[in-house]
Structure formats: structure tokens, C-alpha cells
Structure 1
Amino acid sequence: MSTLSESRRRFLQGCCATAALGAVGPTLLFTRDARAASNSYDTLVFVFLRGGLDGLNFVVPLSGADRGFYEQARPNLMIATSGTYGALPLTLAGGSATGFGLHPSATGLRDIWNAGQLAIVHACGLTTTITRSHFDAQLAIDLGTVGQGGGVGWLARAMNTQPGLDAGDTMPALAVNSRQPASLNGTTQALTLSRPGEFAVDSTAYAWRIKRPDSPAGLLGVQDLLPTLWGGPTGLESAGGRANQALAVVARQTYQPLPAGWPTGTFAEQLWTVAQSIQFDLGLRYATVDLGGWDTHDGQGTAGSGYHYYQNKIAELSAALAAFHNALAASGHLGRVTVVVPSEFGRRVRQNANNGTDHGYGNPVLVLGGAVNGRRFFGTWPGLDPDLLSATYGDLPVTTDHRRVLSELLIRRMGNPHLSAIFPGYGGYSPLGLVQGADQAPRSLPVASGLPAATGRQWHHQPRLRPARGRREP
């Protein structure tokens, strides 16, 4: 027969487990703290530009017939070819012109290009679906499937099939976000946090979370009690114990505020968190960060003095990526980090009546890092001839499936050949040559292996967990 105290203890365990799980998101199978040795593994960082980046004003045509078509389509939004606010010309390693330039606010990315560590894939996107819905396009990229594929994200599939994970890997996957992105749905090895300092139980009153200097004598907060409550036989207790380990591991790391010289803002802070997590050698294989605000239907602006919305967004993106790149180079980690930067779709070639651009289709994808075969364009540029674009309703068509880019990074950099599990229904591995690394033949996983099936259906009853609330990007 249960005693009153035993029942009360079980009740407290259940309450605290619910709070802890709500705070830290997917559980982590932690075993030990960060290791001192330098990283012997690669990290893939997925930076998703949500809202539909205007790729034509980011990677700008500068010459030939396409320049004429571009100017006709965008009389008020075009980026000049020269001058103070002219595009930044992109040249090949030998100095020859490519016919393209970057938005003049992208000086940091231009410098990475010139260093040979940035590549650009032309006209990338979804080849299986033509949609102008942000929700549908983002979900298709997050899940990496045609249809919803059991609701499991491509990064979760990659994480669950990743060869070479070590028992001491304490943070194999990380989303620096106010909520878990769909790309990580379906793995128990991912952690989601908005800021390291805010990674805490937040499902109770602020004064009850932890003991503070001004707390009443004898008070122990919910988070202070967590370590004493686990060890029971239930699944909730086991999951709660792992949640407590997640809190402890983050708390033990020496996360620092933005260093001098870094740009400010939420996106820069998020990339700084990823950079530090890589440098702590926590076993981080996959990381993801979002930068929203690219839905520029009106008042997009171009480049010039005064306020231009799009100009400011490009400056934010470029400065933060350059700071991240330089920090990893300075710490000796850049050679094992690859960053890929897509958006769900591009925008229309022709400007609208509100001095903005509407939802389009094909778009450039950036790939940067120490192992990138940079200062080159990849894929097929379809051109801007209106007669040719009529087949895609005036949009720049997609000539390279985004999964082709990701597949090469998975095999050549991550050593993960399980493409049929990560991208169900996608085949025909054909690397573009974006990055250095050894090719492997794609492999299928037997269901009996215990690894996730392509549909991810075994996760249908896994609880949906959320991270601690933090400041969201406006």
C-alpha cells in the first residue's frame, strides 16, 4: 500500500518531469562533459532563410542579355553594376568575370568568396513541387520528402543514421531557436535552445524555478530539485533524468556573450552559440539556425543611402556569417565545418506595383566552409529571357534539386551515405563538386537494423517537446 509521502513524491516527480521536458525539448543521451581534444568529426550547419529570399537582388546578373532583362523587369529595384551602391563583382580564382555580383551589403560574403571558401548553386529549390505557399515549401524542405513522410525531418533522419557517433557525444544535434524546427522532428539526440543563459525550466512561476539570492530561507526551486527526483522505473522518470542532464551539460559550458567585433542582433547571437558549441567539442554533427523576414512583397528597397529593408537584411546575414566563418577559422575548426544557406523559394523576376517582389521559384543556395571548392558557381543558370520563363509563369525555374546539394554534403563531409532513409524517394546521387571529400555509394538501411525507417512511423507516439521560451526574432 502506498504511503501519503510516497504518493506525494510521485506527484512531484510527474510535475517536475513535465516541466523539465517542456523546458528542454527532445531528450539527450548525455554521458560526460565536453572533451578537450580537437574535433575529429565534421559539423554541418543549416541556415534556413525563411520567407523567400529575393535571390536576384542577392546574386545579381551584371552583363549580357540577362542584365537587360533584369533591368526591364526591375526598373525601381535593380542593383547598379557600379558605383558606391553597385553590386560587388564575383570573379573566378584567375580573375576572370563571372557575370554576377553580390548585393553591395554582402561585403563579408564577398570576402569569403575571394578567399575561395564560398560557392553558389544557381537556380536551386524544389523540383517535385511547384508551390508559392511558405508553409508548404518550408515543410517540404524541412522534411526532405514529397508529402509529409511521417512528419520526421531530414536532419533527424541524418542524425539517426549518422555513422561514427561516440558514446561521449553530448550534443550531437542542436537547433538554436525559440522552438524545435520541423527538420529535427523525430530524433531524441537533438537539443533546442534559444540562448544558453535562458535554457532552464520555465513552466512554473519565475520565483520558483531556482534558488536566488533574494529567495526565502530554505526555498529550493523546481530546477534545484530535479536531480533528486529521478531513478524510478517509469518512462517519464527516465526521460526526466535525461532532461536534467541536458540542463546540466549546457550549464557547465562556458558560453560567453558576443565578443568584440561581432555584429549584434539575434541571428549573430545564434551563430555565436553554434560556434562555441563546435569549439567545446561536444560531438556536434548537425546544427540549424533560422533567419526570417524575407517576405518582401512591398517596400523591399534596393541599395542606397537611407533606409532600405532588403539592404539591411542582406547586411545582417552577411555580417553574421562572416563573423561565424572568421571565428571558426581563428580557432582552427573551419576545415571541419560546412554551412549551407537555402530559402524555401525565390521571388518573381518582375517587381510588383508596391516596389516589392512576390513569391517565385528558383533561388541561389550558398555553401561555405573550409572544405568548400569555392569561388565558383555550380548548377545551371537558366537565364532571364521572358520567353523561356513563360514555362514557369515568369519565375526563374529550378534546375538543381536542393537535395542534390545536401546529399553531397552528407556523403562527402559527414560520411553519411544513407540517402534513401534521409530523403525518401530521392535517388541518383550525382555530386556537383561543391566540397572536398570521398564519395560513397548511397546505401539502404534494413528495417531490422533498428535505425529509423524512411517514413519515421515509429515516432508517432513520441511526445512533442518544446524548448525554454526565449526572445523570438521579430
Structure 2
Amino acid sequence: MAQTLSRRAMIGRALALGCSAAASPLVTPVSLASAPFDNRLIVIILRGAMDGLDILQPYGDPALSAARPSLKTGPDDGAIDLDGFFAMHKALAPMLPMWRAQELAFVHAVSTPYRDKRSHFDGQDLLEAGTPTMGAASERDGWLNRMLQTVPGISPRLAYSVGHENMLLMSGDAPVSNWAPNVRLKLSPHGHRLAELVAHDDPAFADAYAEAAMLMGRADGGLSAMPVTGMMDAEDMQGIVGKGTYGIRQIAQFTAEKLREDARIASFSIGGWDTHRGQPAALPRAAAQLTDALLVLRETLGEVWGKTGVVAMTEFGRTVRENGTKGTDHGTGGAMILAGGAIRGGRVYGDWPGLAHGDLYKGRDLMPTRDVRAHAGWMMRGLFGLDRATLEDAVFPGMELGSNPGLIL
């Protein structure tokens, strides 16, 4: 079997590819677990640092338009007014019926405890670990797996995978089934040559890249060449992989189908949120993937949607001011997106800190007013009845949940 590399190790050998590589992993894994409760939880990691100030625009704050003259914010520029102060990006327009049905909500001015270094890798690791700081690599596990460890009777849905490692979010002692779609990575001849040069002196990377290149060239998308272990059969795989894309609609459909059965917990990621330049063109592409994923989940889950909570979260936000290339740089405070029939939607949660210079974190970023982990914790408490001590001590060690924001019906 070809050697495999972690996302961090692989990108570490290809620094010449730029930091956007961290925001667009080659593979989007899906992890699922069954559990002895009826509600469902889906966690979506938005890789690349989603700009919450563009996804959910506080156009009622006069400082926003002054800080972002090229990004065109507010209802006058096509954003969808939600409450007279916040407007969601026009790329999310297909989700307006969900908002009106109170199945969609936002949380603003939130972050992990991560500050100042603004590394995608460290930020994502901290988000998925759910801890205040990162310990030794050998000690890392994910907060969603730790939650599963507190629930008796956890068992994997099925033992299937396609040769890719688990997300850190789901890594740990609790049994979890893994499935990862094949993707077709399109590279120009110059891109192939760069990858070959990067891999030249690294046999492990060379083997992994050679396998990827072989898979890219297969007309059938490479499914028959992937090393499959466990009990996943051809019917499960059929129609799941989108050719030439991350196949986010197929990923969402697959996830929903398993949650309609006996799986109860699922996680996957969506990349493309690293908008250093050309944000007016780049952000809608990522937002369309998220929109499609949520709409497919809603449609495929059917009546189970009413028992489901979805939380989409990102490693950190972006700067309040746009940069010189019509983009935004790595920041601090950002936004979360909640969806599902089990959430109390149709509202924006959080304490708004303001965008005046004196209100910003270090004069440049949206000031976080609450921890993303607290909102994730309150969702798990509402969905699964986990007690406060378990959430604060075992799932998110050292965190205080604070007051209940009332996210779950």
C-alpha cells in the first residue's frame, strides 16, 4: 500500500504552494458515529478562515462600509437584510427560506482561544482539538470524539474508509467510521513539475504524489484504484464522488443518508475560505458549497431534519479592513453558522462589540465576545442532554460554558 502523509506533513513539504493549500485540503473526509440518542449533530469545519463580516454583514455599523469600500456590503449592494442591522451575503440567498422557517441562524463575534499567530494549521488544529492550547502531538484528540467518549454504547456505523486519516475533530478513543471521497486534482504541466521537484528527495511524498497523479488520470475518477478497507460496498460508493470537484453535494447526501439510518454524529470540511485577494469572486464560490451542502442535508434528511443541529465553524476570522488586493487578511473574531430543524433559528446570536477603531482587537480585528466552544457545548447539551460538568471538564477542558444562549428548541 502506498505511504500516506498527514495534511500538515504533506503541505510542510510543499511550502512553495502558498498558505492557501491549508485552506483547500486534497481530501474532504467524512466521519460518522452512531450513539444511543435520537437527535443528530453535524459539525462542518470551514477551512481557510471564513470572513464572518462578509458572510454576515453588520451593515448597521457605520464603520463597516468605510473599512471595506471595494467589498460592497449591505442590502444596497445585494446582501439580504435579516433584521435591520445584519445582512447575509447574497451567495446565501438560496437559504433564505431556511431563515424564514427559523432553521438557520448565525453567531457573531466568536473565536477559539487562538490569538495573534494566525496560522491556518495551528488555528484549525486548535479548533478541532477544542483545547485552550495545543499539547504534544501524541496527546491530541478531537472535542467531538471526547464527547462520544462520555456516552455509553458508542459504536461505529460501519467499518469503512478509503485510506485517509480521520479529522482531528473525530480522532480519539471512541470508535468512529471513516469515509473519504476521491477527488480529481487538476494541475497544469507547471504544477505537475513543481510537485515532482518538491517530491524529488522525499520518497514518502513521491509515492503519495505518484498515486494521486495516477488517480487523476483515470476516466472513472479512480475509484477502482483506491485501496478500500472494511465493509464499504460498491453501492455505497456509487454516485458519491463528484468528478473534478470536491463533490460537496455528494458528501452531504452521503452524510444525510447515514444519519437517516443509525449514525448520529457526522463531520466534514469545506475549503476555499482563504480570501487574501479577489474576495468578491472567491468568497461566493466557497459560500455556494456551504449553501449546497446545507440544502442537500435538509432535503435528504427529510423528517430527520427536525432532529438535527448543524454547526459550521472556522479557525479564525479576517481583518475588518480590506487589503490592497480587494481581499482580507487573517484576523481574530468571526462568525458561526447554525442550521437544522432542532435549532432556534431566524436570529443572530452574540454580543456585538462594534467596529470603531477603539472597539477592535489590536486595532485591526473584530473583537471576540464569546468562545466558539461555548456555543458548540450548548448545542450538545441541548441535543444530547450532556451535563455542564462533562462539557467543561471532559469535552472542552478548562472552558466555562457561561449563560445558555438558547440555541436548541
TM-score when scaled to structure 2?
0.73
- In 2, the alpha carbon distance for the partners of 1:328 and 1:273 equals 10
Aligned partner of 1:314 among 283, 287, 301 = 287
- In 1, the alpha carbon distance for the partners of 2:341 and 2:278 equals 37
Q: 1:427 to 1:176 in 2, by over 3 A?
A: farther
The CA deviation at 1:172 is 8.1
Structure 2 letter corresponding to 1:147: T
The CA deviation at 1:196 is 9.2
Aligned partner of 2:256 among 259, 268, 275 = 275
- Aligned position for 1:251: 233
The CA deviation at 1:274 is 0.5
| Alpha-carbon contact 2:298-2:340 (below 8 Å) kept | yes
- Aligned position for 1:86: 78
- Aligned position for 1:434: 407
% identical equivalent positions: 31
Structure 1 letter corresponding to 2:341: G
Q: Which runs of 5+ in 1 are unaligned?
A: 1-14, 20-27, 91-96, 206-220, 224-242, 302-307, 437-474
Structure 1 moving runs of 4+ over 4 Å: 172-178, 252-256
| Alpha-carbon contact 2:319-2:331 (below 8 Å) kept | yes
Report the structure number with the largest CA radius of gyration. 1
- Aligned position for 1:295: 274
| Alpha-carbon contact 1:175-1:287 (below 8 Å) kept | no
1:104-143 aligned at under 5 Å gives the runs 104-127=90-113, 129-143=115-129
- In 2, the alpha carbon distance for the partners of 1:409 and 1:222 equals 36
The CA deviation at 1:362 is 0.9
2:45 corresponds to 1:48: yes
- In 2, the alpha carbon distance for the partners of 1:172 and 1:403 equals 29
- Aligned position for 1:359: 330
| Alpha-carbon contact 1:176-1:274 (below 8 Å) kept | no
- Aligned position for 1:159: 148
| CA RMSD after TM alignment | 3.6
2:385 corresponds to 1:415: yes
Q: Which runs of 5+ in 2 are unaligned?
A: 5-30, 184-206, 212-224
The CA deviation at 1:70 is 1.1
The CA deviation at 1:321 is 1.2
* Secondary structure of residue in 1 paired with 2:348: strand
* Secondary structure of residue in 2 paired with 1:318: helix
1:108-257 aligned at under 5 Å gives the runs 108-127=94-113, 129-149=115-135, 150-163=139-152, 165=154, 169-171=155-157, 178-195=164-181, 247-248=230-231, 250-251=232-233, 254=236, 257=239
- In 2, the alpha carbon distance for the partners of 1:177 and 1:125 equals 32
The CA deviation at 1:40 is 5.7
The CA deviation at 1:268 is 1.7
Structure 2 letter corresponding to 1:109: M
- Aligned position for 2:367: 397
The CA deviation at 1:163 is 4.0
Structure 1 letter corresponding to 2:274: D
- In 1, the alpha carbon distance for the partners of 2:79 and 2:338 equals 20
- In 1, the alpha carbon distance for the partners of 2:347 and 2:84 equals 9
- Aligned position for 1:69: 63
TM-score when scaled to structure 1?
0.64
2:334 corresponds to 1:326: no
- In 2, the alpha carbon distance for the partners of 1:252 and 1:161 equals 34
| Alpha-carbon contact 1:46-1:339 (below 8 Å) kept | yes
Q: 1:423 to 1:45 in 2, by over 3 A?
A: same
The CA deviation at 1:79 is 2.6
- In 2, the alpha carbon distance for the partners of 1:371 and 1:188 equals 25
The CA deviation at 1:118 is 1.1
Q: 1:137 to 1:173 in 2, by over 3 A?
A: farther
- In 2, the alpha carbon distance for the partners of 1:297 and 1:142 equals 23
CA deviation profile, 1:147-172 (whole Å, cap 9, x unmatched): 2352111111112112454xxx5418
The CA deviation at 1:130 is 4.3
- In 2, the alpha carbon distance for the partners of 1:173 and 1:152 equals 20
- In 2, the alpha carbon distance for the partners of 1:400 and 1:175 equals 36
Q: 1:182 to 1:354 in 2, by over 3 A?
A: same
